[in-house]
Structure 1
Amino acid sequence: MKPRIVAFIPAHNEEKSIRDCLAGLGDQTLPRDVELDVIVIADNCSDRTEEVALAAGEEFNLKLKVLTTENNKQRKVGALNSAWKSIYGDPLDLYDKRLTVFQEYYKTSVKAVLGMDADSRLAPDALTQLWEGLMSSRNIGGVMAKYTMRMPKKRSLLSKDDVHYEEMLASGQYGGPITRWWTHQQKQDMASWLLNLQYSGGSTYVLGGQATLFRPEALQDIIEENKLDGPWQDESDVEDMLLTWQIQKKWKTLISPTARCFVDAMRSYHTFRQQRNKWQSGTVELLTNSNIGVKSKHRGKIWRSQFKSLVDLAIRFLLISLIAISVATDQFHWSWIWLTPVVLASILNTILALKTPMHRTIDVILAVLLISPEIYLWVNLITFTNVWLGKLSANKKDGWAIQYSAERGTTRSKLTEGVIAVILFIALVTYFCIDQHAFLTSAPVQTVMYPYLKTGWTILTYLTVFTSVAMLYQIWTLRGRHSA
């Protein structure tokens, strides 16, 4: 039996995207003498996912079968583990079923397992590039593709007279200016992360579930060491990061410098927030929960990222507060040196925008002006604050359920209410400062406020210097020829 790659594709109501995912696998040029089998796991589906997958398998000449889950309450984790058990057997089987001779040969022939999301698509030759990376050394447990968010087509290309207008708009393949802009911000954020990993040697602390090629022995080690019935666990909202940390105990986890996978972005503020809430809360849980019992050699890098978010939040809070109080008490003094971090941020974000695959001119311009990066950063800082405040809560939220609800449209964003609240607050503060101008600018008030302002500006100066040095270092790292 020839060596083979087996693709696991969990699919929950993915009839609209599964064909494109399988088309990408049909495009692949396989390594010499290596075969590809595809297992689509129709997980608690209420649509035509299974039917569409089988038809696409025939259309693209794939060796494909569909598994249908029963009573799966572990969502993606349970779906992936069911595919694993279909090849390697179920340790929890009460009857201790033995694999047939054919099944034993088949299991031995599996040299790599490809984990993919149903809404992802591999670029041509990506699978061969992932295979070459995995087989380049015996101690590599997993290799992840480089992810690039797919840009929706312009909504203006659709004719409103088209009978399929609403259907095509709802498919997510088309979007307006805001949706396309928001997609690019996520794409640039991903590009920045990928460039940072490659500069650090290509080792990654998360093998993303969108497209990663695993060595079966590495996954089997996790099962044996932790007495599991499958490699994937639902103890964390970031099951792919937990899996990666467990693999790293004995194996290397790398990112491919060439293999690319196209993935869907979150096309609205609400769905993006819920996704990032899940990612961030899962990451914080892995960092702080000792009961999970797994650590990563990248913990220092992840903690530094959390600290950077805290510093970014502190700088903006201090800057807004100090300027407001200084102006209100007539003690504000402008200094041209303040432009230094602004110029550095502009240079950094411009380089990132230019290194982002398939960037647009408007995106580069907005990066130069710091409009897009600042808005995107504020959204992430809100998520950062929300997650860490949530750590103090006794009630643990189901990140997967919340994200699914947001994507289905059964929950709504509170962005409008939040914006209105901020505008009202600014208006009230402005009115108060104008009404009490004489009192606020009086000598006694200025004398009382001066020491606090001086201390605040000193702290802000140190934080800004720290951030500026960090930006200089990042600009220096981007001089390399790494591509995102």
Structure 2
Amino acid sequence: MRPRIVAFIPAHNEEKAIYDCLTGLKEQVLPSGVELDVFVVADNCTDRTEEVAKETGEELGLSIEIIVTENNKQRKVGALNAVWKAIYGDNMDIYEMERTDYQIAYQRSVKGILGMDADSRLAPRALQHLWDGMMSSRNIGGVMAKYTMRMPKKKSLLSKDDPYYEEKLASGEYGGAMSRWWTHQQKQDMASWLLSLQYRGGSTYVLGGQATLFRPEALYEVMQSNKLDGPWQNDTDVEDMLLTWQLQKNGWKTLISPNARCFVDAMRSYHTFRNQRVKWSSGTVNLLTDRDLMLKTRHTGYLWRSQLKTMMDLLVRVLFVLLLGAAIATDQFLWSWVWLIPIALASVLNTILALKTPMHRPIDIILAFLLISPELYLWVNLMTFAQVWAEKLSNDKKDGWANQYQAEAGKTRSKLLQGVLALLLFISIAVFACYYFRDYLTSEAVQQATNPYLMAGWIGLTGLTIFMSFIMIYQIWTLRGRHRA
């Protein structure tokens, strides 16, 4: 039997996306002498995912197998393990069914396992690049493609007389200005992350589930060493990160391909984005702090430094707002041109990142230079950071997958508007109070009482800002390299 790559595609209600995913696989140039088989898992579906996948496979001439799951409580993890068991057998099978000669031969012929999401699409020759990366060294357990978010088409291009108007909007094929803005911000964020990993040697602490080629031997070793019934575990909201750490623990390298690209869907609203990021961030924090797993990665220090940097970003902004408000209210505010230095550095850094982001638009460069987009996007991430750690410290465990599914399905609503209105009301009350009591607040007695605290606060803020400025200078320096996001 010829060697083959087997694609694992878990699909939960993906009838609108699965055609594009399978078309991308059909367009791949396969390594010489290697065949491709596709396994689509119609996981707890209530739509026509199974039928569409089968019809598409027949239309494109793909070697495709459809696996249907019902009452799968482990969601994506359960779907992926279902395909694994179909090929390698079920360790939990008490009957110990004897495998046929064909099943044994097929199992031995699998040289690569491609894990993909049903709403992602590989760029041409991406599979060849992933294969070349995995086969470049015996100790490489998995190679991930570079992810780029697909920009929705302008909603203005869609005629309102189109009978499929609402359906096309709901599918994400078209979007308004805000959905396109959210998409670019996530694309630039992903580009920044990919560049940072490449500048550090190309090793990654997470082999993303959107498109990663695994070495079957490495997955089997993880399953056996951890006494699992499949390589993927449901103990965390970031099953792909947990698997990556387990691969590294067993001595396998996990890398990013410098050439393979995969196009993925972005979260196109504040609500869906927040729920996705809370799931990712919460899962990361839980892995970092879970002593029962006893897992470490060469990237543990990097991840903790990232958490510390985010905390410092939050602290700098909160301190600045509080000190600025108190200084203006007590008439002790003094402008310093030195403050423009970190602003200029942030502008240069974000402009470079915007230019290095694939398929960027002129408006994206302008907004990055003016720091409008980066600052708004950062504040959303800072709120996510604060929420995740607040839940962690309070032991308030939530189902990240369920929250994300409900947000994407429109079953939950964002409280952004209420939050903005509450903030504006608070600011209005504070401004009115400062104006009403201005004589008292600007009196010499109040100024003398508050001045030592303001001075101490400004000194501390200056120290933090200088430290953060050096970090930005280092990031700008590393971006001089020729790596592509």
TM-score (norm 2): 0.99
Secondary structure of residue in 2 paired with 1:237: coil
**Aligned partners of 2:41, 2:294: CA distance in 1, in Å?**
29
Q: Which residue of the partner structure matches residue 148 of structure 2?
A: 148
* Residue in 1 that maps onto 2:166: 166
Shift in Å, 1:240: 0.3
1:369 is matched with: 370
| CA offsets 1:416-438 (integer angstroms, 9 cap, x no match) | 00000110010010001000101
Partner of 2:465: 464
2:304 matched residue in structure 1: 303
The code of the aligned residue for 1:143 comes to: V
Q: Which amino acid aligns with 1:207?
A: L
- Structure-1 residue corresponding to 2:422: 421
Q: Secondary structure at the match of 1:468?
A: helix
- The one-letter code sitting in structure 2 at the alignment partner of 1:39 is F
Residue-by-residue CA offset, 1:6-50 (whole Å, 9 max, x unaligned): 000000000000000000001100000000000000100010000
Q: Distance in 2 between matches of 1:78 and 1:302?
A: 28
Give the counterpart letter for 2:409 in structure 1. R
- Partners of 1:452 and 1:288 lie apart in 2 by 35
| 1:277 aligned onto 2:289 | no
- Cα deviation code 1:223-244 (max 9, x no counterpart): 1101000000010100000000
SS in 1 for 2:292: helix
C-alpha displacement of 1:393: 2.3
1:45 aligns with 2:45: yes
State how far apart, in whole Å, the 2-side matches of 1:393 and 1:324 are.
31
1:402 aligns with 2:406: no
Take 1:98 and 1:81, find their aligned partners in 2: how far apart are those partners? 20
Once residues 443 and 155 of structure 1 are traced to their aligned partners in structure 2, the CA distance between those partners, rounded to angstroms, is 58
In structure 1, the residue matched to 2:383 is 382
**Secondary structure in structure 2 of the residue aligned to 1:208:** coil
Post-superposition CA distance 1:195-228 (Å, at most 9, x none): 0000000000000000000000110011110100
Question: Counterpart of 1:125?
Answer: 125
Q: 2:66 maps to what in 1?
A: 66
Distance 2:393 2:25 in 1: 44
In the alignment, the residues of structure 1 paired with residue 72 and residue 183 of structure 2 have an alpha-carbon distance, to the nearest angstrom, of: 32
Q: Deviations over 1:301-328 (max 9, x none)?
A: 0000000000000000011111110011
Runs of 5+ in structure 2 lacking a partner?
none
Specify the code of the residue in structure 2 equivalent to 1:247. L
Deviations 1:136-188 (A, max 9, x none): 00000000000000000000011111111111111110000111011000000
Distance 1:443 1:416 in 2: 40
Aligned partner of 2:243 in structure 1 is 243
Letter in 2 for 1:428: I
Whole-angstrom distance in 2 between the partners of 1:60 and 1:214: 25
Q: CA deviation at 1:441?
A: 0.5
Equivalences for residues 31-430 of structure 1 within 5 A: 31-249=31-249, 250-430=251-431
Tell me, in whole angstroms, the C-alpha distance in 1 between the residues paired with 2:198 and 2:260: 13
Matched letter for residue 340 of structure 1: I
1:72 CA drift (Å): 1.1
Q: Secondary structure at the match of 2:359?
A: coil
Letter in 1 for 2:44: N
Task: State the distance in 2 between where 1:427 and 1:284 align.
Answer: 36
Q: Distance in 1 between matches of 2:136 and 2:233?
A: 28
Aligned counterpart, 1:12: 12
Letter in structure 1 aligned against 2:92: L
In 1: Cα distance, 2:389 partner to 2:415 partner? 19
**CA offset digits 1:32-76 (Å, max 9, x no partner):** 000000000010001000000011111221100100113311000
Secondary structure (helix, strand or coil) at the match of 1:291 reads coil
Alpha-carbon shift at residue 291 of structure 1 (Å): 1.5
User: Secondary structure of 1:391's match?
Assistant: helix
Q: Any idea what SS the aligned residue of 1:209 has?
A: coil
Aligned residues of 1:235 and 1:292 also touching (Cα < 8 A): no
Whether the aligned pair in 2 keeps the contact of 1:40 and 1:53 (CA below 8 Å) is: yes
Distance, in Å, in 2 between the alignment partners of 1:152 and 1:343 is 31
Alpha-carbon distance in 2 for matches of 1:483, 1:273:
27
User: How big is the shift at 1:392?
Assistant: 2.2
- Root-mean-square deviation (CA, aligned residues, Å) is 0.6
Corresponding residue SS for 2:259: strand
| Aligned-partner Cα distance in 1 for 2:321–2:396 | 33
- AA aligned to 1:48 is R
> Equivalents in 2 of 1:297, 1:482: separation in Å?
22
Which residue type is aligned with residue 231 of structure 1?
P
Q: Which ranges in structure 1 are unaligned for 5 or more consecutive residues?
A: none
SS at match of 1:64: strand
Give identity over the alignment, percent: 68
Q: CA contact under 8 A between 1:204 and 1:253: conserved in structure 2?
A: yes
Q: Which whole-Å CA distance do the structure 2 matches of 1:324 and 1:31 have between them? A: 63
Partners of 1:189 and 1:333 in 2: how far apart? 35
**Secondary structure in 2 matching 1:292:** coil
Partner AA of 1:448 in structure 2: A
Structure 1 residue 372: deviation in Å? Answer: 0.1
Query: Offset at 1:395?
Result: 3.2
CA distance in 2, matches of 1:38, 1:294: 32
Separation in structure 1 between the aligned mates of residue 136 and residue 2 of structure 2, nearest angstrom: 19
Deviations 1:108-154 (A, max 9, x none): 00000000000000000000000000000000000000000000000
Q: Give TM-score, length-normalised by structure 1.
A: 0.99
Supply the AA of the counterpart residue of 2:171.
S
Q: Distance in 1 between matches of 2:394 and 2:71?
A: 31
Structure 2 equivalent of residue 441 of structure 1: 442
Per-residue CA distance 1:454-473 (angstroms, 9 max, x = gap): 11001101110110000000
The one-letter code of the counterpart of 2:328 is V
1:197 and 1:342 mapped to 2: Cα distance? 25
Contact kept in structure 2, 1:350 and 1:367, CA below 8 Å:
yes
| Structure 1 stretch displaced more, 32-41 or 161-170 | 161-170
